[in-house]
Amino acid sequence: MGVPSFITLVLVVVIMFHSFFVEPTCSSSSPSPSPSSYYPPPYKAVRAAYWPGGSDFSPSSINTNYFSHIYYAFLLPQPDSYNLDVTQSDQTQIPIFINGLRSLNPPVNTLLSIGGGGSNSSVFSAMASTATTRAAFINSTIQVARQYGFDGLDLDWEFPNTVQDMSNLALLFKEWYQALVSDAKLRRKPRLLLTAAVYYANRIVFLGNEPRSYPAEAIRNYLDWASPMCFDYHGAWDNFTGVNAALYDPKSNISTHYGLGSWIQAGVPPSKLVMGLALYGRTWKLDDPSVHGLGAPAHGAATDTDGTMDYDEILKFNTQNGATVVYDGLSVSFYSYAGTTWITYDDVWSIRMKAHFARSLALRGYFFWAVDKDKDWALSRQASSTWGHGRY
């Protein structure tokens, strides 16, 4: 990272001070969640993260001082039977995941997540379409979770494509919850948790076949919590630079402020919402390195993978390339640039303010994607510290 001038430092401090205490003006159509003076007790907080199956980062290396729940990501339903496909790799990795986390102190709850961004949405649509196929899926998830010793189940269906999909999702949540209650009684064990990763906003407008809204009543009644994915707002699919996880966007509804407000307005109580945070950034190649602000013309990703960079990789890039680092007070985010490479990401300061925002709304907590992207725990530690100490 390049050394900023004294004037730059002063300007950054002023902007940071302003953004922390003054809420930017958002579009008039935005549902506006009102920060509460009530903070939920720390012991109720969810401090979660996903661990990608097969990651080189060992589950036993996770610092559980900063987490309450860790998800194993992911298993997929088979497209014919809708039973979970537990591959040979999963059969090896899941015991390592469970046993590695059980050996740690303090302990954490473990959840099995099903789906993910690379899954086939049409398989979930077909599974949810009839009572018979839903039952096959539900029974398989419970069997696998109990077999391996998970504490809960998580659905990451990205994304229901139609209004009918959303109606079927409501039925799935209801029947899944009822099956979990019956299973707990039969086994005389605590009920498995049931959660879902969902779109950042209650209503999906930009993706899929038609505008459709999540079943808020079913989420309220049957899930322990829903986890809005408050990231991936912009990326290399755009031909301009943008913010990966904007807290505010005065020019559009693509922001965490808008998204969480829409969930609360739809009837999902804050105590059943867990806000998503990103431990990675997104990259672009600038068309012209001399034009490097937000909205600058760009083409494609600056990395040879999926256009993302882990937080520790971003810090390394900034240092090695003498990158210019900019804090954007309107979106509460950072970006950096060097040559034609442009990166949007969260740093310790913006994570602090986003965690503060979530807590001020009396949300249930937050989750990170993904735990292996925060090697020295800087962001995880900051979020946990901001929320307050205590366990779920």
Segments in the chain forming alpha helices (H): 6-21, 88-102, 121-127, 131-148, 163-187, 216-222, 256-266, 311-321, 348-360, 378-387
**217 Cβ contact list (under 8 Å, min separation 6):** 170, 267
Give me 221's structure tokens.
């009644």
C-alpha distances (whole Å) from 318 to each of 7, 27, 57, 140, 342 are 20, 33, 23, 46, 10
Which residue out of 158, 175, 217, 313 is catalytically annotated? 158
**158 an active-site residue?**
yes
Q: How many CB atoms lie within 10 A of CB 5?
A: 9
Q: What is the CA radius of gyration of the chain?
A: 21
Q: How many CB atoms lie within 10 A of CB 210?
A: 11
Give residue 33's identity as a one-letter amino acid code.
P
Tell whether omega for the bond before 159 is within 30 degrees of 0, i.e. cis: yes
Give residue 356's identity as a one-letter amino acid code.
H
Spatial CA neighbour of 139 closest among 88, 81, 190: 81
Classify 159 in phi/psi space as left (phi over 0), alpha (psi -120 to 50) or beta.
beta
C-alpha distances (whole Å) from 73 to each of 26, 53, 115, 129, 141 are 34, 5, 8, 24, 14
Residue in the block written with tokens 């060097």: 338
| End-to-end CA, the chain | 38
Spatial CA neighbour of 302 closest among 345, 243, 342: 342
Q: How many CB atoms lie within 10 A of CB 37?
A: 7
Spatial CA neighbour of 168 closest among 155, 185, 153, 180: 155
Classify 115 in phi/psi space as left (phi over 0), alpha (psi -120 to 50) or beta.
left
CA distance 257 to 42: 22
Q: Among all residues, which ones are annotated catalytic?
A: 158
